[in-house]
C-alpha cells in the first residue's frame, strides 16, 4: 500500500472512529474551539482546501506525482465528505490535515533531490512559494486577532455556544482580576445563561455604584428567561435589598430610588 492510500485511509478511519464517539464535541463547537486557537478558522479551512485543490489540479495537468494528492474529482469528493462530517463531529481537524501534502511539497521542492527534473523542480518551488506566502499572511492575521481579541470578545461572539459559556465560567472563577471583561459581558450579552454566569461574578466581586446599573439593564434584557433569578441574587448582594422572587426590573428601580432618598 503506497503512502497516498495510507493517508486517505487514515482520514477515513479517523472519521469513522470519531463519528462513533458520542463524547466528542459537536462539529459547530469544534469550529468554535478551533477559532480560539486559529482565528478566523474559516480562513484556515478555505486555505487548506484551496491549497489542496491547487496541488490536485497541478498534478493532474502536469502528470506530476505528489504525496497524497488525488485527481480533482476524487479531491472534490474527499473535501465534500470532510466538510459535511466536520459540521457533525469534531470540527475542522481533518480539513486542516489537507495542509500536509502542501507542507511535504515545500520540503520536496527545496531539499536537494537529483531525481526531480530541473523544470519540475522550478515549478514546484513556485507553487510552494505561493503556498508559503498565503500561509504567512494567514498566520499574521491570526496573530493579530489573538493579540487584540479579549476573552469577552470571544464570549460575546459565540455567546449561544457551549465553549462561550465555559469561557465565561472561567472568567468568573478568575474574578476579580477579570472583572472589567465580566462587566463588558453583562453590558452586551443577550444570552440569558451567559448573563446569569457573569452576574455571579459581579455579585461576588462588583462595586455597587458602578455595577448595579449594569445588572438592572441586564435583568431587563433577560427578564422572564432562563436563570434570570441569578441576576436578582446578584442585585440583592450588591444593594442589600430583598425583593420577592421574580420582581420586575421596574420594581427594582423603584426600590433603589427609594433607598437613595
Q: State pLDDT tens for residues 95-139.
A: 999 999 999 999 888 888 777 788 888 888 999 999 999 999 999
Q: Which three cell numbers stand for residue 221?
A: 434584557
C-alpha triplet 193, 198, 203: angle, nearest 5°: 125
Report how far residue 94's alpha carbon sits from residue 24's, in angstroms, rounded to the nearest whole number. Answer: 15
pLDDT at 55 over 70: yes
With a CB cutoff of 8 Å and minimum separation 6, the contacts of 212 are 235, 238, 239, 256
Q: What is the pTM of this model?
A: 0.84
pLDDT digit string (tens) for 154-198? 999 999 999 999 999 999 998 888 999 999 999 999 999 999 999
Q: How many residues does the chain have?
A: 261
Amino acid at each position: 500500500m503506497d503512502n497516498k492510500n495510507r493517508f486517505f485511509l487514515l482520514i477515513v478511519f479517523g472519521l469513522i472512529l470519531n463519528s462513533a464517539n458520542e463524547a466528542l464535541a459537536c462539529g459547530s463547537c469544534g469550529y468554535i474551539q478551533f477559532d480560539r486557537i486559529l482565528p478566523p478558522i474559516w480562513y484556515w479551512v478555505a486555505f487548506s482546501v484551496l491549497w489542496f485543490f491547487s496541488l490536485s489540479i497541478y498534478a493532474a495537468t502536469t502528470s506530476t506525482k505528489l504525496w497524497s494528492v488525488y485527481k480533482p474529482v476524487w479531491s472534490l469528493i474527499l473535501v465534500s465528505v470532510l466538510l459535511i462530517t466536520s459540521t457533525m463531529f469534531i470540527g475542522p481537524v481533518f480539513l486542516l490535515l489537507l495542509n500536509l501534502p502542501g507542507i511535504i511539497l515545500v520540503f520536496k521542492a527545496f531539499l536537494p533531490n537529483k531525481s526531480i527534473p530541473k523544470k519540475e523542480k522550478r515549478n514546484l518551488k513556485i507553487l510552494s512559494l505561493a503556498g508559503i506566502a498565503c500561509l504567512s499572511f494567514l498566520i499574521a492575521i491570526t496573530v493579530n486577532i489573538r493579540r487584540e481579541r479579549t476573552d469577552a470578545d470571544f464570549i460575546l461572539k459565540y455567546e449561544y455556544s457551549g465553549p462561550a459559556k465555559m469561557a465565561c465560567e472561567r472568567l468568573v472563577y478568575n474574578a476579580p482580576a477579570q472583572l472589567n471583561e465580566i462587566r463588558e459581558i453583562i453590558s452586551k450579552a443577550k444570552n440569558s445563561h451567559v448573563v446569569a454566569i457573569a452576574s455571579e461574578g459581579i455579585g461576588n466581586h462588583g462595586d455597587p455604584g458602578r455595577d448595579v446599573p449594569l445588572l438592572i439593564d441586564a435583568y431587563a434584557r433577560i427578564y422572564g428567561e432562563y436563570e434570570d433569578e441569578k441576576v436578582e441574587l446578584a442585585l440583592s448582594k450588591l444593594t442589600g435589598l430583598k425583593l420577592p422572587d421574580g420582581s420586575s426590573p421596574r420594581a427594582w428601580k423603584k426600590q433603589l430610588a427609594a433607598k437613595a432618598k
